[in-house]
A = this chain, B = another copy of it.
Amino acid sequence: MSSKPMQEKQVPVILSRQIVAKSRLLRIEAIDLKFSNGELRQYERMQGSGRGAVLVVPLLDENTMLLVREYAAGLHNYQLGFPKGLIDPGETPEQAAQRELKEEIGYGAKHFTLMKSVSMAPAFFSANMTLFIGEGLFAEKLEGDEPEPLELVPWPIDAVDELLAQPDFTEARSVAALLLMQRWRSQQSK
């Protein structure tokens, strides 16, 4: 294989850091950096809750996965995607996945498969999200803090092109989860 393994590169030295803006939920930090070649730069990065998040692709049966349609304030429209949410203090990622499923779609899952942990714009954020598949669904509803019930959208597992073409299915983490799940399924069936 011609690819290189991960190298232990010398990360830049943080010369100083300062909170330059702060709201109820978010903080923006400016950091002064010195790169290993001597270059000096100021970067800005965001600090969120630091709690981590989870996303679940729930498989209802052999042919059907479940999505939700939810208001997204950043885009000010409704977006189609997989159930997701922040990890509460004290929860494992799997416990958070179980709770979010029950809150958002009214199902628990008997079995979770961890697909991958992903980051989001790591140049700016430290946010981390663990992507799961949920199988063996059973009806169980928990009350969440949603302002309105989420629209539950069953979708044929094999209708991937149709889902990718939906104009409201845009979030990169849902796209990654969909395709990782498809890859996992094709490897299972070998």
Main secondary structure of the interface of A (DSSP, over half): mixed
Q: A16 interface residue, CB < 8 Å from B?
A: no
From residue A111, how far is it (CB to closest CB) to chain B in Å?
Answer: 21
Q: In the complex, what distance in Å separates the CA atom of A155 from the CA atom of B24?
A: 43
Q: Which of B71, B76, B119, B173 contacts A35 (CB 8 A)?
A: B71
Of residues 101 through 147 on chain A, the ones whose CB sits less than 8 Å from some CB of chain B are: 116-129, 147
Copies in the complex: 2
Residue of B nearest to A76 (CB): B11
The tally of residues in A whose CB lies under 8 Å from a CB in B reads 81
Question: Could you list which residues of chain A lie within 8 angstroms of chain B, going by C-beta atoms?
Answer: 1-4, 6-7, 9, 11-12, 14, 20-26, 28, 30-31, 33, 35-37, 39, 41, 43-46, 64, 69-80, 116-129, 147-148, 151, 153-156, 159-160, 162-164, 166-168, 170-173, 175-176, 179-180, 183
